[in-house]
Structure 1
Amino acid sequence: MPYYHSKKFNVIKKLSFKKSTNADFSTTLKYRVAVYLNATGKDRFGNRAMLLKTTVMLSLYFIPLVIISFCSISQIWQLFVLFLISGFGMAGVGMGVMHDALHGTYSKNKSLNKWMGYTMNLIGASDEIWKLQHNVLHHSFTNIEEHDDDINAPFFLRFSPHAKKNRLHSYQHYYVWLFYGLSTISWITSKDFVRLNRYTKLGLVKSKSEYRRILFKIIFWKVFYFSYVLILPLLLTSFNAWLIIIAFLSMHFITGFCLSVVFQTAHVMPETSYPIPDGSGKLKDERLVHQLATTCNFAPRNKVFSWLIGGLNFQIEHHLFPHICHIHYKNLAPIVKQTTEEFGIPYHSYSSFFSALKSHAQMLRKLGSTSLQSTT
């Protein structure tokens, strides 16, 4: 397990999970999932269904951009509709294609995973920075303040009961939705550079040569991204530049909002825990139990919604088995739920996305109105 700097302890801490606690649960669950895969003749990777989804999402993303630049559209509403469609496609690529590829589950072919992972760069962000932020920090230390970057929010947002509170937070449940929509604007402009520097200081980027390689790669892909998404429409269409820029920002607002509400609703919830390590950097639960305590599912029976968001309504199954492609989660969910019930471990799930979103808003309000310092 890697080391991370913690302001709370003002030292470099190595966090670890208790291996003895609920060991029988983890062993049983892993065994049952393995039995299911063997009995059904399935492996843990994606199949042709992933190829169909990839085609649909990349088409939703790229075709409107091609039409904008090369098909001489003349109406302002056409410009905005096409950019907005592309925004939904971008979110679909992020949740249903890139996400699995960078977890290494899109295909058993490592080269295909690598190339599909580059779709992250095609939507304006860095695949390497994302893997550090998501695969390493978020999945390893879910809902642990100062370690999980998904809850390490800027000063005007508070996603953890252990984070410092200020007066602005009392209103965050009103304005957070705007910043959710702006999240990918930050990603394509500054966030990758900021995190590259931060992760270098944390020791996740091991050397100066690796730092330079990643930096060059970030710059190259961002230049390429802005060239075809923004510069081409500015050069090849007759629309005023300010209209194109507003339409471009609208596209990203759609993408940022979709991504943020799906990922944040899975963890910043009234039921989820925000564990803190003890003085020696140890957490009170075993790793899989920790993931169950800090994660929520939603809309498990909504097949269309699940398909559109890359199975991320089954966030519990994803956090328990990030090495398994999302197309299997709906079938793993009953196995996980049954096993948690047998061992008396909570399994947090909402029947619909809107009920989960409502609870997320309530949690944001609670975090903004209290200095709660729960350790559970």
Structure 2
Amino acid sequence: MSQHIKFSKSSPDFFGSLNKRVGEYFKINEISRHANRQMYVKTIFMFCLYLVPYAFILSGAVSNLWLLTLMCVIMGFGTAGIGLSVMHDANHGAYSAKPWINKLLGYSLNLIGGNALNWKVQHNVLHHTYTNIHEADEDISPRGILRMCPNSKWLFFHKFQHIYAWFFYGLLTLVWIVFKDFMRIIRYSKDGMLKKQKADIRQEWTILIATKLIYISYIFILPVILLSIAWWKILIGVVISQYVAGFVLAIIFQPAHVIEGSDFPLPDDNGNLENNWAIHQLRTTTNFAHKSTFFSWFIGGLNFQIEHHLFPNICHVHYKKISEIVSQTAEEFGLPYKNVTTFRGAILSHARLLRELGKRPAVVPVVSN
């Protein structure tokens, strides 16, 4: 479906003016759009948050079951931290002006069990281009157990999704590692998405399988060999770590687009959308918790989701500053700039929309095959 969607070419002045003003901000202040010292320190911190507890576990220095569990939980936060604050910028080409650095740090996703190529297609191409468009944006496309879009098929159990969704959010990365990465590389190959990325399918299959084996080897097999702990307890530890990571990632990304006030636009019969790409991003995206400094630091500035969607190639450490430019320009052009004051408020708004989407619609949408 995404291949036939066309954004409107009307009202180009907004993004033209915004892009010029943001460019002037970096030029006048003589700063790079990419990572700075703050970002380098954060990168080291996030990798330590993941690797230090792993080293403690592997050394055998920690034997108490509760302390081992705590180490796994910390590793989960480290996994989320690498994903939100390092891998995310790198795979957007925003971490460095040098492509090889972005590519290297982008593969940190493979280090923690995922796959960089699949993520680039699903996130950079489909989600960032076709945000909140039914059957084009995989983040809100039909997924059976959850109904994230008013145009998705309704099933009777969706009326409880505002209750059970939180449990399934924790399974996010586990599903990616075990199932989705394999299904996506097959699907993206068949529909031509990998060809558009100029990817060598044999090479990408080799990378996927090799890095999955490396991940399984160091996260599971090595502890089984070195530690006098039952294999099933180690497996539980891995699941705990990934569950924490999946839950953190889900509750950060979902309120940015699946929240009260978000638009879910559909193209007309000819594939045309009402707005141009930049205005589309404003209408489908919401910021939250602008004033929470540590929270914003940990989640890679993704509470400034509007800035991220409009300028994904700018490192997130600059989002707070350029948010002033974006909000002022949007107001000047009479366009929405959606913001929820607190993270709690954003989560509650997300929950309310889940409940609303869980209600049986007057006319149940029919999902085309």
Q: Does 1:147 align with 2:136?
A: yes
The 5 A counterparts of 1:61-140 are 61-140=50-129
Which of 239, 249, 261 is matched with 1:259 structurally? Answer: 249
**Residue deviations 1:115-134 (CA, integer Å, cap 9, x gap):** 11110100100000100000
- Deviation of the 1:277 alpha carbon: 0.8
For 1:213-232, list aligned pairs within 5 A.
213-232=203-222
Q: Which amino acid aligns with 2:318?
A: H
2:238 corresponds in structure 1 to: 248
- Residue in 2 that maps onto 1:8: none
User: Within the alignment, does 1:343 sit opposite 2:336 as a pair?
Assistant: no
8 Å CA contact retained: 2:51, 2:75: yes
Partner of 1:355: 345
Match for residue 163 of structure 1 among 146, 152, 173: 152
Q: Deviations over 1:148-171 (max 9, x none)?
A: 111124211100000000101100
Decide which moves more: 196-205 or 186-195. 196-205
Going from structure 1 to structure 2, the CA distance change for 1:329 and 1:373 (only over 3 Å counts) comes to farther
Matches within 5 A, 1:1-376: 4=1, 13-20=3-10, 22-206=11-195, 210-371=200-361
Report the alpha carbon displacement of residue 72 of structure 1 after superposing the two structures with TM.
3.6
In the alignment, structure 1 segments of 5+ residues that lack a partner are 6-12
**1:217 is matched by which residue type in structure 2?**
I
Q: Which amino acid aligns with 1:268?
A: V
Contact in 1 for aligned 2:260/2:349 (Cα 8 Å): yes
* TM-score where L is the length of structure 2: 0.95
1:152 is paired with a residue whose SS is: coil
Q: Distance in 1 between matches of 2:202 and 2:225?
A: 32
Task: Give the Cα separation in 1 of the matches to 2:78 and 2:194.
Answer: 31
| 1:361 to partner: Cα distance | 0.3
CA contact (8 A) 1:161 1:372 kept: no
Amino acid at match of 1:320: L
How far apart, in 1, do the equivalents of 2:199 and 2:277 lie? 33
Distance 1:236 1:44, change over 3 A: same
Task: Provide the rounded CA distance (Å) in 1 between the counterparts of 2:362 and 2:203.
Answer: 42
More displaced stretch, 237-246 vs 59-68: 237-246
* Cα drift, residue 370 of structure 1: 4.0
Q: Please give the per-residue CA displacement for 1:51-97, whole angstroms capped at 9, x wherever unaligned.
A: 10110000000111111112342211121011110100000000000
Give the corresponding residue for 2:367.
Answer: none
Deviations 1:164-215 (A, max 9, x none): 0010110011011111001110111111011111112221022998222211
Counterpart Cα distance in 1 of 2:190 and 2:120: 17
Q: Report the secondary structure of 1:17's partner residue.
A: coil
In the TM superposition, residue 25 of structure 1 has moved relative to its aligned partner by 1.3
The 1:371–1:325 alpha-carbon spacing in structure 2 relative to 1, beyond 3 Å, is same
Q: Provide Cα deviations, 1:200-236, integer angstroms capped at 9, x if missing partner.
A: 2221022998222211111100000111111111111
CA displacement at 1:243 relative to structure 2: 1.6
Letter of the aligned partner of 1:334 in structure 2? E
Deviates more, 1:30-39 or 1:308-317: 30-39
5+ residue gaps, structure 2, are: 365-369
C-alpha contact (below 8 Å) 1:158/1:368 kept by paired residues: yes
Whether the aligned pair in 1 keeps the contact of 2:85 and 2:298 (CA below 8 Å) is yes
1:15, distance to aligned residue in structure 2 (A): 1.3
Distance 1:284 1:327 in 2: 32
CA distance in 2 between counterparts of 1:373 and 1:53 reads 49
**Could you tell me whether the CA contact under 8 Å between 1:162 and 1:372 is conserved in 2?**
no
Instruction: Specify the SS of the correspondent of 1:16.
Output: coil
- Asked if the contact 2:86–2:105 (Cα under 8 Å) also holds between the matched residues in 1, the reply is yes
SS class of match (1:81): helix
Letter of the aligned partner of 1:89 in structure 2? G
Letter in 2 for 1:328: H
Q: Distance in 2 between matches of 1:26 and 1:205?
A: 29
Q: Judging changes above 3 Å, is the alpha-carbon distance between structure 1 residues 98 and 282 closer, same or farther for their aligned structure 2 residues?
A: same
Equivalent pair of 2:85/2:300 in contact (CA under 8 Å):
yes
Distance 1:203 1:339, change over 3 A: same
Instruction: Spell out, residue by residue over 1:214-264, the C-alpha distance to the aligned partner (whole angstroms, 9 max, x if none).
Output: 111111000001111111111111122222111211111110000011111
Q: Which moved more, 1:145-154 or 1:287-296?
A: 145-154
Matched residue type, 1:147: A
Q: Aligned residues, how many?
A: 364
Q: What amino acid is aligned across from residue 193 of structure 1 in structure 2?
A: F
